[in-house]
Amino acid sequence: MPAVREQLDERFPGSTLDPEVWFPWYLPHWSSRAESAATYDVRDGELHLTIPPDQPLWCSELHDEPLRVSCVQSGSAPGQQPFADGLVVREQHPPFRGYTPRYGRVEVRMRGVVDAGSMVAFWMSGIEDVPEHSGEICVAEIFGDAVRPGSAEVGMGVKAFRDPGLRQDFVAPRLDLDVARFHDYAVEWAPGSLAFRVDGAVVRTLDQAPGYPVQLMIGVFDFPARAGGREPGFVPELVVASVRGTPAVG
């Protein structure tokens, strides 16, 4: 087994993703790698995740709402993040652990191009080595229909899912920022506490936190049924300039 990665300083050099850190498929066990592959490009020190018009729907036979996704993960295991009852793993793959921190500070510098039918998100999901290790730390979830000139609602908080030790606590405060420009979205994670920061300023603190390793999830989502009136040729995009993770001190 490879050594556990203690920290991460990803600046996206070269022209491809580091396969030892990133898994460029979104929950492929519920569909397949072929149907869940991210559309992405690495250039000029940035990761560009896009959803072109011809990208297929994700898990079209099972997901109630039509959905398309380009997402990269820093970990993966079959059976994670079930979105409905009675799901069966369709494609097996070995567990992947590129970067799965437990406590510390994690920060993503990113910008998004979204409309009313799309969103961008950065969250940290439990690795689910047992089902209870499924809680999520959502650092930034931005829907295009909540974006206004000079401001946006930025979702952040905890989603409990199957972790009985967590309580659902997720809000989307409106912040003065331009989503189309780069901003730093970060969380400081310690036992029993979380502090969410945007561009260095603390926006929200919580007195709860998962106590197990998580994987990073960074992606752009498109909801075709919500995209009425979309400009011809519009392509939702998430551009990531850096991902940094540092372990807790002490």
In a domain, 2, yes or no: no
The CATH number linked to 108 is 2.60.120.200
Per the structure, the complete domain to which residue 58 belongs is given by 16-246
Token pair of 214, please? 């998580």
In a domain, 10, yes or no: no
In a domain, 238, yes or no: yes
The structural domain count of the chain equals 1
Phi/psi for 144 (5° steps) reads -60, -30
Question: What are the C-alpha distances in Å from 99 to residues 23, 81, 169, 214, 217?
Answer: 10, 18, 25, 8, 11
Question: What's the predicted TM-score (pTM) here?
Answer: 0.95
In a domain, 71, yes or no: yes
In a domain, 116, yes or no: yes
What ranges make up the beta strands (E) of 172-227? 174-175, 183-190, 193-198, 201-206, 214-222
For the chain, give the percent of residues with pLDDT over 70: 98
In a domain, 78, yes or no: yes
In a domain, 4, yes or no: no
Question: What are the C-alpha distances in Å from 128 to residues 42, 78, 95, 132, 150?
Answer: 29, 9, 11, 7, 38
Q: 144-170 pLDDT, tens per residue?
A: 999 999 999 999 999 999 999 999 999
What is the predicted pLDDT for the residue at 104? Answer: 97
2 band by pLDDT with thresholds 50, 70 and 90:
low
Cβ-based neighbours of 5, under 8 Å, separated by 6 or more: 21, 97, 98, 99, 100
Q: 75-104 pLDDT, tens per residue?
A: 998 889 888 777 788 888 889 999 999 999
In a domain, 54, yes or no: yes
Mean pLDDT over 202-221 rounds to 98
